[in-house]
Amino acid sequence: MDAPILSRSGKIARLNDHLRRTLSGGTVMLTAAVNGLDPATKAEVLSAVRAFDQFGGDNDPHQEHDMAFFEVKGERYFFKVDYYDNGLEFGSEDPTDPAQTTRVLTIGEASDY
């Protein structure tokens, strides 16, 4: 059976979901506020990022699964995926191509954004 043909945004979403769910396939950055959380809360925040699946028209207009806000213990957090060239100097020319793109997942408190 042939794999479904994905749109550009579908390819990007699939790569972003892989990074977010596995915390591999890119670089993961925590803001100072999240890095400073107690270990149990930090683990809950990371679990919430990995489990997030509430993408829709309001929070995912380009259907790339690249950013969202969520809550843990009554506090608001965010995650955001950016696409850089492999030297981390410029934006990627083609975020659908993992060979020329370094994905950076940033996780922070909503106030950090």
Question: Which residues on adjacent β-strands are paired with residue 104?
Answer: 27, 82
Does residue 48 have a pLDDT over 70? yes
Q: Does residue 3 fall inside a structural domain?
A: no
The per-residue pLDDT for 113 is 86
Give the model's confidence band at 1: pLDDT under 50 very low, under 70 low, under 90 confident, else very high.
low
pLDDT digits 0-9 by tens, 4-44: 778 999 999 999 999 999 999 999 999 999 999 999 999 99
The per-residue pLDDT for 40 is 97
Residue 95's CB is within 10 A of a number of other CB atoms, namely: 22
Q: Does residue 2 fall inside a structural domain?
A: no
Count: domains in the chain: 1
CB 19 within 8 A of CB 98: no
The per-residue pLDDT for 6 is 83
Q: Which domain, by its residues, includes 78?
A: 8-112
